[in-house]
Amino acid sequence: MTYTGVGDAVNLAAHLEAHTKVLGRPILIDESTREGLGEGFRVESHGPTRLKTRSQAVSIYSIARPA
């Protein structure tokens, strides 16, 4: 049996994964995911970014690297 994920969330995840190569960060998240993390994680903002097939810029974050 084969399963396929479709929809806006899957599309956004694919674009974020592709953008990891541009920023040199292993994991990128959007604003919605950042809000769900709560205070337990420090994140670095990479600002609003235009991603292919998205009509509006997406605020992109990465988990901050430990000092």
Tally of residues, the chain: 67
Any domain includes 34:
yes
Query: What confidence tens digit (pLDDT) does each residue in 12-61 have?
Result: 999 999 999 999 999 999 999 999 988 888 899 999 999 888 889 999 99
Question: Computed from CA positions of residues 45, 51, 54, 55, in that sequence, does the dihedral angle turn out positive or negative?
Answer: positive
Is 3 inside a domain boundary?
A: no
- pLDDT of 62 reads 95
Residue 28 lies in a domain: yes
The contacts of residue 11 (CB under 8 Å, 6+ apart) are 53
Q: Is residue 41 part of a domain?
A: yes
Q: Check whether 66 has a pLDDT greater than 70.
A: no
Query: What total number of domains does the chain contain?
Result: 1
| Side-by-side strand order, sheet with 28-30 | 28-30, 58-63, 43-49
Looking at the domain assignment, is residue 1 inside a domain?
A: no
Q: What is the distance of C-alpha 59 from the center of its chain? A: 8
11 pLDDT exceeds 60? yes
